[in-house]
Amino acid sequence: MLRKAIIQGRIEFGTEKSFAQAVKMYEYRAENYHKSDTLFETEEIFIKETLTLEIPRYVKQVYDKTFRNTVALLEYCSQFGLSGEIDAWLLDEGKVLKFDHMEPNSDKVAVQRFLKGKALIGQEGKEEKALEHLTKAIEKYDRHAQAYQRRAKVNRILLKNHDALRDYDKSIKSDDTNPFAYYGRSKVHLINEDVDLAIEDLELAIKKSVALQPVYWKSRRVKGKSHFDLKQYEKAAFDFKLFSNRKFDKNNPNIPWKRWVAYHYGETLLALEDYEAAIVQFDSAMDLPQSPTPIEDDVLLCQRGFAKWKAGKNGYIKDWTDSAELGNKLAKRYLKENS
C-alpha cells in the first residue's frame, strides 16, 4: 500500500574519510541488504563539496517496505557523522504511522559530548555542566550546528542573551536548515524588543519545519502575538486561526497553549471589529485548561462582555459583573459607565 512519506534533514561528516565510508556503506547496503529498494540514489543526497548528507525535504507516496529500508539505511550512515539530524514520517490520511529521528550516536568525542550536554538541558542546576559538554563538542568540531543551538538555549535560560544570540548566529551559519535555531533566535530578538527581526526568524522556522513538528506551531503562536503587538491584526488572525484549528496529538507540547491562543485570537478579532467571532474564541478559552502563561477568568469575562456589548448581544452585564467580583478594575469601570 502506498503511504505518504516526509523525510528531511542533514548529517555532517566532518572529514573526507568519514564521508567516503558513509558513501561506500550506503551503496553497499542499498544493493546487498535492501536490493536497491530505497528512495534515494547516492548522488542525490551525498554532497562531496560540503561532506554532508542532505535531504532538504522529500514528500512522496511510497511503499512501507521502501520507507523502512530507507530509514534503516539513513540511520546506519548517520553514525559516521559528527553532527546533524534527520527526521522521517510515514503517514496514512494525515495520521502518523511511524516517526524516526536519526542523529549520530557513536563514540566520537564530539558526538558524546553533545549528547551529554543535550541531556542536561532543562535539568535545574545543571546549566553550567551542559555548557561545559556542549563547548567541548564545539571544540572538537567547530561546525557543530546543533551544539551551538543547544548552547544558545542554555545561555538564554541563564539570561546571557548576548551569548545566546552569538551562538544562534553560528548555528545558522553552519546549518541554515535547522528550524530550532531560528525559533530560539526569535525569542532573543523579542527580549531585545526587535519584533520585526523576530518575525523574520519565525517565518524561517515555519518554512524550515513541517506541521508535524511542535516547533512549527510554537512559531505560529509566537508569530501571531508578534504581529498583534505590531497592530498587524490580519496577519495575527491568520496565525492564531491556524493554531486554533489544529488537532494536536495528546502529548504535543502546544496543547497547554490552546487557552492562551484562543484569548489572543479573540483580542485580535476585537481589534478587527469581528465581535461575534471574538465571542466564540473567548467562549472557547473559558472552557480550556489554564496556559503556562496564565489567562485569568476575570480578564476573559471582561473581554467577552465587551465583545457581547459591541455585538449587541445579551449577557455582557453578567460577564462584567462576574469579572468585577473577581477584582477586575476594567470590568468595574464598564459597569459604572453603562449603569
Is residue 110 assigned to a domain?
no
C-alpha cell at 282: 473567548
Q: What is the pLDDT of residue 339?
A: 75
Is residue 121 assigned to a domain?
no
Is residue 232 assigned to a domain?
no
**DSSP sequence for 4-53:** EEEEEEEEE--SHHHHHHHHHHHHHHHHHTSTT-SS--HHHHEETTTTEE
The owner of cell 467571532 is 277
What residue numbers bound the domain in which 59 lies? 2-102
C-alpha 201: how far from chain center: 12
How far apart (Å, rounded) are the C-alpha atoms in residues 298 and 331?
Answer: 8
Count of structural domains, the chain: 1
Burial class of 67 by CB neighbour count within 10 A (0 to 12, 13 to 18, 19+): buried
Is residue 204 assigned to a domain?
no
Per-residue confidence in pLDDT tens, the chain, 339 aa: 899 999 999 999 999 999 999 999 999 999 999 999 999 999 999 999 999 999 999 999 999 999 999 999 999 999 999 999 999 999 999 999 999 999 999 999 999 999 999 999 999 999 999 999 999 999 999 999 999 999 999 999 999 999 999 999 999 999 999 999 999 999 999 999 999 999 999 999 999 999 999 999 999 999 999 999 999 999 999 999 999 999 999 999 999 999 999 999 999 999 999 999 999 999 999 999 999 999 999 999 999 999 999 999 999 999 999 999 999 999 999 999 987
Q: What is the pLDDT of residue 1?
A: 87
Is residue 50 assigned to a domain?
yes
**Is the model's pTM score more than 0.75?**
yes
Is residue 81 assigned to a domain?
yes
Nearest to 190 by CA among 205, 175, 212, 176: 205
User: Which CATH number do you get for residue 40?
Assistant: 3.30.70
Is residue 183 assigned to a domain?
no
- How are the residues of the chain apportioned to helix, strand and coil, as percentages rounded to the nearest 5? 60, 15, 25
Contact 67, 97 (CB under 8 A): no
Phi/psi zone of residue 319: left (φ > 0), alpha (ψ -120 to 50 degrees), beta? alpha
Three-class SS state of 55 = strand
Is residue 96 assigned to a domain?
yes
